[in-house]
């Protein structure tokens, strides 16, 4: 029974008793990634391989034809693909910047300020952690139309900035900053905005990075606003366009499958790259992400 | 008492109040408009009859009574399917992600990072990617990957229209949801376990626990209750947000013979296809109440009592 000493949390070296974990985890990890690898291969298959029967898993002679077809199909609608891409990049950047600034300010107030009603407000935000947007999609629709955001580019931005979980993650992190540091700065005459930008933000980088990634993941491929509120073709998002192509092509025509896969891949790769680069910051943030 | 405090307020304190107000305002405003008001509006509309042309007519609890007495689709398909789906994918996915996080914590950092990334990846691919992948894999003709695989192994004789088949759609939706459910909550639990205090474990072994199961039961879970609760809330949100999967895989709402018809799809069906907004709002309220009940259970299990 000496192995109990051997298998411990976060081990630094390999131990025989770990084998069982690998036996379970590795096949499962492969199962999880397999569909993604499949789509990657599908995106690079030339037309004749897409038609192959029985279908193959790996692309034998990879080409970028599917991507070319995708871009060519796009221009036939009259709106160039670059326009959708420009829209989405602009939307993503603005949403990320506004979300980060507004969320950090709010989390700072919840963490370090005292005022009447603070606990009530924070409790409301905690309850809203379980807010499911699709549950109230219909009343949201009325609100958005009523305030004049229908067919307005701002509809891509404004509804997605207040996200309760962002406030929660940031507040948990700002709570770690000792009050003394902030008091000392205040005694020296620093304003709140100075404290926010010179002390809080530099010390909260990991949580900010996490919020940035989560915001990116939900904004980059977003289709809801284009689907429901935007009628003007030139104001729609890249995700919406690729989604339309992907859905009209998968399962209907074999040739379209490759194009749909290419579209899906374009939406996915930036997410993956950003997450890999930032993953240690995310894990650091998650350490503090407990609800007490 | 309040008067003296007010009088004694210095300019410094006033400036402080103003800064607090300014910093809080944008979030409170956006939260109110896009989260609080829609929820309030859902509750109001749920008690009206509203077809988007005439003004809403108040009709009390008629919508709710209709949901639970007249709506046979709701009673026969939507309610049981939603419950079945949310219990398997919610608590089921949650337990799965805890077990995986726990196993990951027992191996070395290098392989752990790679495997964790593999498990997390499906949750970040996004809705577009999910439907492209699974519609391609489960494509109904013999060029569909899974069909050709099953035929190659002689398990089936002719291709199955998986995504149009009432017998298979629900299973596929559950598999896809579980596949994409290792998200933020999973990462939080992994971080929570890794952050555990080694001395606690050593002390527990001295105290007389002697196997892994007891270790999890008496040390790991009590130690990371806050992360367990966060993970539970996130699992809840992703479970109910993923209700669209059945519709996007089959390409129709309602799904074939209501095979994967969840409450969120039923709401869209009444709201955006039939324009019975009052009724759809009542369904939304039922959904919000379901989420509330689930989260109450999660808080009961994991919240630390002061």
* Res. B1 pLDDT band, cuts 50 70 90: very low
Q: What is the pLDDT of residue B243?
A: 82
Q: What is the pLDDT of residues A124-162, one digit of tens each?
A: 999 999 888 888 888 999 999 999 999 999 999 999 999
Residue B21 lies in a domain: no
* Res. B289 pLDDT band, cuts 50 70 90: very high
Q: What is the pLDDT of residue B163?
A: 86
* Res. A198 pLDDT band, cuts 50 70 90: very high
How would DSSP label each residue in A155-215?
GGTGGGT--HHHHHHHHHHHTTS-HHHHHHHHHTT--HHHHIIIIIHHHTHHHHHHHHHHH
C-alpha R_g of chain A: 24
pLDDT value at B29 more than 90? yes
* Res. A272 pLDDT band, cuts 50 70 90: very high
**pLDDT higher at B274 or A6:** B274
Q: What is the pLDDT of residues A98-125, one digit of tens each?
A: 999 999 999 999 999 988 899 999 999 9
CA B75 to chain A, closest CA, distance in angstroms equals 19
Q: Which chain A residue has the Cα nearest residue B151?
A: A54
pLDDT value at A6 more than 80? no
pLDDT value at B75 more than 50? yes
Residue B172 lies in a domain: yes
Query: What CATH number has the domain bearing residue B233?
Result: 1.10.3720.10
Q: Which chain B residue has the Cα nearest residue A242?
A: B128
The residue segments making up the domain with residue B232 are 72-302
Measured between CB atoms, does A104 come within 8 Å of chain B?
A: no
pLDDT value at B142 more than 70? no
Looking at chain A, the domain(s) classified CATH 1.10.3720.10 span 79-286
Give the C-alpha distances (Å, rounded to integers) separating A71 from A45, A46, A50, A59, A66.
16, 16, 19, 21, 9
Return mean pLDDT, chain B.
88
**pLDDT higher at A17 or B245:** B245
**pLDDT higher at B53 or A231:** A231
Measured between CB atoms, does B292 come within 8 Å of chain A?
A: yes
* Tokens at B137, concatenated: 């894999």
How would DSSP label each residue in B178-214?
HHT--SHHHHHHHHHHHT--HHHHHHHHHHT--SHHH
Which residues in chain B are closer than 8 Å to A12, comparing Cβ atoms?
108-109
* Nearest-CB residue to B133 (from A35, A143, A292): A35
pTM for the model stands at: 0.88
Measured between CB atoms, does A274 come within 8 Å of chain B?
A: no
Quick one: DSSP state of residue A2?
A: T
pLDDT value at A32 more than 50? yes
The neighbour count for residue A169, using CB atoms within 10 Å, is 28
| B window 163-202, beta carbon within 8 A of A | 163, 179, 182, 184, 187-188, 190-196, 198, 201
Q: What is the pLDDT of residues A52-99, one digit of tens each?
A: 777 778 888 888 888 888 887 766 667 788 888 899 999 999 999 999
- CATH of A79-286 among 3.30.230.70, 1.10.3720.10, 1.10.10.10, 3.40.50.11540: 1.10.3720.10
Percent of chain A at pLDDT > 70 equals 93
Is B58 strand, coil or helix?
Answer: strand
Q: How far apart are CA A180 and CA A162, in angstroms?
A: 30
Q: What is the pLDDT of residue A252?
A: 57
**pLDDT higher at A257 or B27:** B27
Measured between CB atoms, does B236 come within 8 Å of chain A?
A: yes
Return mean pLDDT, chain A.
87
Q: How far apart are CA A112 and CA B208, in angstroms?
A: 43
Residue B243 lies in a domain: yes
* Domains in chain B, number: 1
Q: What is the pLDDT of residue B305?
A: 66
The neighbour count for residue B3, using CB atoms within 10 Å, is 7
Q: What is the pLDDT of residue A52?
A: 74
* Res. B25 pLDDT band, cuts 50 70 90: very high
Lowest mean pLDDT among A186-190, A205-209, A240-244: A240-244
Most B CBs within 10 Å, among A20, A55, A114, A244, to test the B interface: A55
Find tokens 């943030």 and name the residue. Answer: A285
| ipTM score | 0.88
Give the mean pLDDT of A21-25: 93
Measured between CB atoms, does A61 come within 8 Å of chain B?
A: no
pLDDT value at A286 more than 50? yes
């Amino acid at each position: 029974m000496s192995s109990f000493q051997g298998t411990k949390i976060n081990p630094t070296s390999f131990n025989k008793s770990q084998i069982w974990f690998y036996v379970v985890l590795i096949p499962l990890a492969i199962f999880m990634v397999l569909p993604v690898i499949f789509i990657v291969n599908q995106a690079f298959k030339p037309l004749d391989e897409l038609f192959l029967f029985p279908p193959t898993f790996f692309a034998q002679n990879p080409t970028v034809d599917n991507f070319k077809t995708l871009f060519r199909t796009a221009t036939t609608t009259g709106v160039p693909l670059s326009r959708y891409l420009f829209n989405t990049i602009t939307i993503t950047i603005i949403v990320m910047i506004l979300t980060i600034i507004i969320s950090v300010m709010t989390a700072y107030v919840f963490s370090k300020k005292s005022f009447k009603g603070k606990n009530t407000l924070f409790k409301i935000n905690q309850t809203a952690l379980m807010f499911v947007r699709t549950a109230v999609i219909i009343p949201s629709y009325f609100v958005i139309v009523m305030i004049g955001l229908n067919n307005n580019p701002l509809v891509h931005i404004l509804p997605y900035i207040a996200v309760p979980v962002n406030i929660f993650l940031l507040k948990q992190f700002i709570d770690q900053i000792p009050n003394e540091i902030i008091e000392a700065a205040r005694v020296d005459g620093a304003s709140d905005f100075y404290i926010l930008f010179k002390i809080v933000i530099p010390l909260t980088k990991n949580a900010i990075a996490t919020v940035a990634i989560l915001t990116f993941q939900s904004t980059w491929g977003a289709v809801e606003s284009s689907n429901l509120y935007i009628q003007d073709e030139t104001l729609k998002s890249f995700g919406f366009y690729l989604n339309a192509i992907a859905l009209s092509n998968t399962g209907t025509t074999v040739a379209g499958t490759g194009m749909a896969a290419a579209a899906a891949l374009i939406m996915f790769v930036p997410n993956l790259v950003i997450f890999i680069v930032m993953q240690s910051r995310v894990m650091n943030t998650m350490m503090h992400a407990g609800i007490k | 008492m309040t008067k003296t405090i007010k009088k004694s307020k210095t300019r410094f304190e006033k400036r402080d109040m103003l800064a607090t107000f300014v910093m809080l305002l944008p979030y409170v405003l956006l939260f109110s408009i896009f989260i609080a008001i829609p929820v309030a509006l859902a509750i109001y509309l749920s008690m009206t009859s509203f077809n988007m042309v005439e003004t809403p007519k108040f009709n009390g609890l008629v919508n709710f009574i209709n949901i639970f007495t007249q709506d046979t689709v709701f009673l026969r398909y939507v309610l049981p399917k939603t419950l079945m789906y949310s219990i398997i994918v919610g608590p089921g996915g949650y337990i799965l992600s805890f077990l995986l996080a726990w196993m990951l914590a027992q191996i070395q950092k290098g392989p752990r990072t790679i495997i964790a990334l593999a498990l997390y990846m499906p949750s970040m691919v996004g809705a577009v990617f999910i439907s492209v992948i699974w519609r391609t894999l489960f494509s109904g003709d013999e060029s569909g990957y899974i069909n050709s695989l099953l035929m190659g192994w002689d398990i089936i004789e002719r291709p199955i229209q998986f995504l149009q088949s009432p017998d298979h759609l629900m299973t596929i939706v559950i598999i896809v949801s579980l596949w994409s459910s290792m998200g933020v909550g999973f990462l939080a639990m992994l971080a929570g376990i890794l952050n555990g205090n080694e001395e606690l474990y050593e002390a527990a072994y001295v105290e007389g626990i002697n196997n892994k199961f007891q270790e999890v039961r008496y040390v790991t879970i009590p130690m990371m209750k806050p992360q367990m609760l966060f993970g539970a809330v996130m699992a809840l949100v992703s479970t109910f947000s993923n209700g669209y999967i059945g519709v996007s895989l089959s390409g129709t709402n309602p799904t074939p013979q209501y095979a994967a018809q969840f409450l969120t799809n039923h709401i869209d069906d009444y709201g955006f296809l039939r324009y019975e907004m009052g009724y759809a709002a009542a369904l939304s309220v039922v959904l919000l109440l379901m989420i509330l009940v689930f989260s109450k259970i999660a808080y009961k299990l994991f919240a630390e009592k002061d």
